A and B are shown apart, each in its own frame.
Chain A
Amino acid sequence: MVKEDEMQREEYLKEAINNYSDMVYRIALTRCGNKENAEDIFQEVFLKLSEKMPIFENKEHEKAWFIRVTINLTKNLHNSAWNKKTTALEENIVFETKEENDVFNTVMGLQQNYKTVIYLFYYEGYKVKEISEILKTSENTIKTWLSRAREELKEKIEGGFEDEE
């Protein structure tokens, strides 16, 4: 990809926003717990893309980059004073059914690492090994997060996230 070419650059960025905006936003929202910060993180992720214009081997590599950058950018957020000015999520996201609402809010109540692996495993369909590579964390740790997250979900919502079909 010739990056000097303004048109190509714009095309690429447009395409990237179209392809990854929902995923980036979902991860940011899951981790921030409010729209205000999620939107800031969202912008920061794409700013970083435009700054670095990384070269990706393939789509998977590209996708992993977006996941990792989004997660990294949210890491320090919950310590910041920003959070004080935000509205609770329940006030502005309403789902179609009570079940969806309940399960979403239960997942949102988990701690950061747990809800992140739940999202990547159950929504994005990644395997433990892949999550460990994306998050640069040992597989062992991912497995533990996942199983503890499942345990917690089982405690909090009937049926939990059991895998049995």
Chain B
Amino acid sequence: MKNKDNFKKAMDNIHAPEDLKNRTFQKIKDKPKNNLIFMKVLSACAVFAIIFGIGAYYNGNPDIIGLSNNSKSKNVADLDLPRFENIDELKKVLAKSSSGYGYNRGLVYEDAMFESVDSSVNSGGFNQSLKVTDNAGAASSNSNYSTTNVQVEGVDEADIVKTDGEYIYLVKSNTIYIVKASDLKIENKLILDEDDDDFMPEEIFVNKDKLVVLGTNYIYDDDDEDDEYDHDYYYSYYRYNNSKTVTEAVVVDISNKNKPKEERRVTLDGYYVNARMIGDNVYFISNKSVYYYDEDCDDDDILPVYKDSVKSKDVVTIPAEDIIYFGGTRNYTYMLVGGFNVNDKKEASVETIFGASDTVYANSENLYIVQEKYTSLGNTKSVIYKFGLNGSKISLKAKGSVKGYLNNQFSMDEYEGNLRVATTSDVTGISKNQVYVLDENLEKIGALRNMAIDEEIYSVRFIGKIGYVVTYKEIDPLFVIDLSDPTNPEIKGELKIPGYSSYLHPYDETHIIGIGYNTETNNWGGTVNKNMKMSMFDVSDLENPKEVFNIDIGDEYAYSEITSNHKALFYNKDKNLIGFPVTFGKRYYDDSKSGFVIYKIDLDNGFKVYGEITDKTDYNNQPERVIYIGDNLYTIFEDEIDSYDLETLKKKDEVVFSK
């Protein structure tokens, strides 16, 4: 009997106790109004009301209520930004967050004061003067090689594969491969561990001679280095528990591919969330969970750290007084945002907020980070932090919030200084969708509410004055929203077709491509995916959007990363080609085939299959990206790269990475 079979048998023997099931059912069967969790929250609110009450009434601004008056200023630049008074205040807040909430523990909840006043209050902008320089337009769509499919032109997004037209750089496990595109020769392999740690690259940027690797590192606190290797200790939970997870941006000079040289390492506490590169400036974000035991805990255990190798060799603890805190949040997480220039040695700019980050959107001037919060009434709201980007310097400019949660980064877009946000909210079990327009201080100036009741947003794309929103329950309405008057967004047109698009890609001024699924109703009245499909929408008449043609892709088991990650898109505007990785075949069976599909776009004749390279049957060698460089096409799998002639699709070369 194999260990894994014994594991299965052991697991099979574990069942939820019947009385636990019964107790749970009794608790949840009534609507949330009457059940226990609500009572708990209510009593919690009462406590908070007492503590915060006075402040709230005098302050008049419920979003900046804290345990103490937070309006102190540290220096001129930080005027008006509320921060912790000292470590004791931080500890008090953490203690509040971790006590007395029973079932709510661990979730990012907000105290009810917020909501009872207005579910979408804004604290507005801060009086900081910040010069904004426009450095957009760096990436050119006319280059003769693929660039990562990004949301905003000129704002690069990190990915697992990048090319500079000559080399292909890719992340595989703990290694970055540098592969020469012309002959698929592995030029070099980079492992960026330092000493004893375990650096895991997640995504990369390429900036001329610089490779920027974003990854996670685990720093272990092994104090006795001279000790003999102790196997039990090495793999112990104790050791893991005392390790620190950090996010690192490593700048590597790759001017000589045979001798890549690490130049710099910027470290932020916590897990990697997201990154952007604008010109030579890299911005990256991490989330750090706070481990709070009791008031006797070490300050070092609850404060986040950072490090910039140009400044120091050791990590620096960020003092409580530097952490931005808006009060009223029960929370366990810090969000750290770092910015630096890949070509200079100026110390990285780091800002820390008491809160977590979920969704990130950036244009060339501003970086928006959204945190999802559960309010006491069981609703979700999205708190938006707006950072101004000025070279490598980042500074918080405004904070606001809207009802509901975001589908993904495409749910946000800034246009003429206003942020448009599309959200789905679900208060009573019936979901609703809305589009808000917020001004530069994140004050709400316009809203379109109650769109597509009982449906959920599946994809969004804002293009200039127009917003396109796909909602879905059984059929896919594509809404065309006119945002030319930001104070009065309105639905112009609507198109209902079966299925849904989970990614919208602008094709030209009057056409949008949607990629998603066809769906059908099953015997039980539910809807299930029928097959993947790609559609071309004509939006030249805003009031009458039309699906001009579409193509079915595979069957119900077809899957493509493009449905959840826009970076998986292959797009060649010159040759009118669009493509993505796919896996066909049944799950749990080994007869799946995977690879890539590429279609020729022809507005008169529809999508035509240009190439289907789907002959891989090894489930452990999944397709990742397909890119082009000049006249060559490269299909990149987990364990290999194959090159083809872009015109004839004749295979030219391949390289297999050893496992």
**Chain A interface residues toward B at CB < 8 A:** 3-4, 6, 9-10, 13-14, 17-18, 21-22, 24-26, 29, 39-40, 42-44, 46-47, 49-55, 57-58, 72-73, 75-81, 93, 95-97, 99-104, 107, 109, 111, 118-119, 122-123, 125, 127-130, 133, 138-141, 143-144, 147, 152-153, 155-157, 159-161
Contact = CB atoms under 8 A, between A and B. Distances in A.
Contacts of A153: 3
B171 A140 contact: yes
Contact of A73 (B21, B23, B106, B172): B106
Contact of A133 (B25, B456, B564): B564
Contacts of B564: 133
A81 B37 contact: no
A13 B23 contact: no
A47 to B, nearest CB: 5
B107 to A, nearest CB: 8
Contact of B529 (A57, A157, A160): A57
Given A104-B10, A140-B173, 20 more contacts: A13-B29, A21-B15, A22-B16, A40-B102, A40-B103, A43-B24, A43-B27, A53-B429, A55-B456, A58-B528, A76-B106, A95-B13, A99-B1, A101-B10, A111-B237, A122-B8, A123-B8, A125-B588, A144-B173, A144-B200
Given A55-B431, A80-B98, A138 B173 contact: no
A57 B527 contact: yes
A146 to B, nearest CB: 11
Interface in B11-69: 11, 13-17, 20-21, 23-25, 27-29, 31-32, 35-37
B494 to A, nearest CB: 20
Nearest to B525: A1
Given A58-B528, A123-B7, A81 B293 contact: yes
7 A-B pairs closest in CB distance: A3-B429, A25-B16, A50-B28, A76-B106, A21-B16, A104-B10, A100-B10
Contact of B202 (A55, A76, A141, A147): A141
A101 B11 CA distance: 10
B529 A42 contact: no
A77 B106 contact: yes
A9 B34 CA distance: 14
B619 A55 contact: no
Nearest to A139: B622
13 contacts: A17-B25, A21-B20, A43-B20, A46-B28, A73-B107, A77-B106, A95-B10, A103-B10, A104-B6, A127-B587, A140-B202, A143-B173, A161-B7
Contacts of B21: 17-18, 21
B174 interface: yes
Contacts of A52: 378, 426
Interface of B: 1-4, 6-11, 13-17, 20-21, 23-25, 27-29, 31-32, 35-37, 98, 102-103, 105-107, 160, 171-174, 200-203, 216, 231, 235, 237, 240-241, 289, 291-294, 332, 378, 426, 428-431, 454, 456, 473, 526-529, 559, 561, 564, 583, 587-588, 619-620, 622
Contacts of A22: 14-16
B3 A123 contact: no
A47 B25 contact: no
A46 B7 CA distance: 26
A81 B16 contact: no
A51 B9 contact: no
Contacts of A58: 526-529
Contacts of A143: 173
Contacts of B24: 17, 42-43, 46-47
B275 to A, nearest CB: 13
A157 B292 contact: no
A52 B28 CA distance: 11
B14 A29 contact: yes
A104 B16 contact: no
Given A21-B16, A52-B378, A140-B160, A123 B103 contact: no
A24 to B, nearest CB: 7
Nearest to A25: B16
A54 B429 CA distance: 7
Contacts, number: 183
Contacts of A13: 25, 28-29
Given A43-B27, A140-B160, A100 B9 contact: yes
Contacts of B20: 21, 25, 39, 42-43
Given A22-B16, A43-B23, A79 B35 contact: no
Contact of A140 (B106, B200, B294): B200
Contacts of A101: 10
Contacts of A159: 2-3
A47 B103 CA distance: 9
A80 B290 CA distance: 11
B28 A49 contact: yes
Given A26-B11, A122-B4, A140-B172, A51 B235 contact: no
Contacts of A40: 102-103
Nearest to A102: B6
Contacts of A156: 235
A129 B619 CA distance: 10
Contacts of A76: 105-106, 289, 332
A106 to B, nearest CB: 8
A80 B105 contact: yes
A155 B237 CA distance: 15
A29 B240 CA distance: 19
Contacts of B429: 3-4, 9, 53
Contact of B6 (A47, A80, A97, A111): A97
A51 B378 contact: yes
Nearest to A138: B202
A157 B200 contact: no
A78 B200 CA distance: 24
Nearest to B358: A136
Chain B CB within 10 Å, residue with most, of A51, A143, A144, A161: A51
A129 B456 contact: no
A17 B36 CA distance: 18
Contact of A75 (B23, B106, B561): B106
Given A81-B293, A127-B619, A141-B200, A100 B105 contact: no
Chain B CB within 10 Å, residue with most, of A3, A130, A159: A3
Contacts of A123: 7-8, 11
Given A46-B24, A155-B231, A100 B289 contact: no
B293 A51 contact: no
A93 B12 CA distance: 13
A145 to B, nearest CB: 10
Contacts of A118: 7
Nearest to B102: A40
Contacts of B35: 47, 50
A160 B3 contact: yes
A100 B6 contact: yes
